[in-house]
Structure 1
Amino acid sequence: MTHDDARARVRAFLIPQLAGRPLADSDDIFALGYVNSLFAMQLALFLEKEFGMSLGPEDMDFDNFRTVDGLVRLVTSKAAV
């Protein structure tokens, strides 16, 4: 799993939620109001299904979910295990 592949797949999932608003990979999607806590659960389920990974309690750090960069870091770190 490359960073670029993970980034493209995460961004493709987020695009409908953004409703055309711009998003940098380091933007906090929660602070900007683009997503809410319910969507965070959808995001976790997406990661597990899309990348064939299992998220544990240690992965549920909010920093893993607030930016595209954080999501990519989580996905690629789990793929390396």
Structure 2
Amino acid sequence: MTVSSEPLKSPDPAVPEPVATTGGVEAELLRFLARHTGRDWTIDADVFGPGGLSSLFAMELVVYLERTYDIAIRGADLRMDNFRTVVRMAELVERLRQQVSGGPRA
């Protein structure tokens, strides 16, 4: 998979345009993490592991995901395991999008 190095264009730079595919979600999350941490991440890196992000950053991730992908992350979905890797965050976004659109439920 090739990931474009060009940032998404958005009228409000704080809220990028929604990304349509799970691969697109992963790419956008990698850009978001790089912008906010000053380092590059892989999709399977434990972002909260040793040398990673603080647990306080998890709340920023929740707000970012909700605003960017027009989803609501509540209850059991707020578990730290859903935010450990870019892959898990993208899976959460996709599952919640399907629930909103009436698609298959996990």
Both proteins in one fold, TM over 0.5: yes
Structure 2 residue aligned with 1:51: 69
Aligned to 2:37: 18
Q: Post-superposition shift, 1:12?
A: 1.6
Structure showing greater radius of gyration is 2
CA–CA distance in structure 2, aligned partners of residues 55 and 4 of structure 1: 20
Q: How many residues align?
A: 80
TM-score normalized by the length of structure 1: 0.88
The share of aligned pairs that are identical, in percent, is 30
Aligned positions of 1:2-81 closer than 5 A: 2-20=21-39, 22-81=40-99
Q: Which of the two has greater helix per residue? A: 1
Amino acid at match of 1:5: G
- Which consecutive residues of structure 2, in runs of 5 or more, have no partner in the other structure? 1-19, 100-106
In 2: Cα distance, 1:18 partner to 1:32 partner: 14
TM-score (normalizing by structure 2): 0.69
Unaligned runs of 5+ in 1: none
Deviation >6 Å, runs of 4+: none
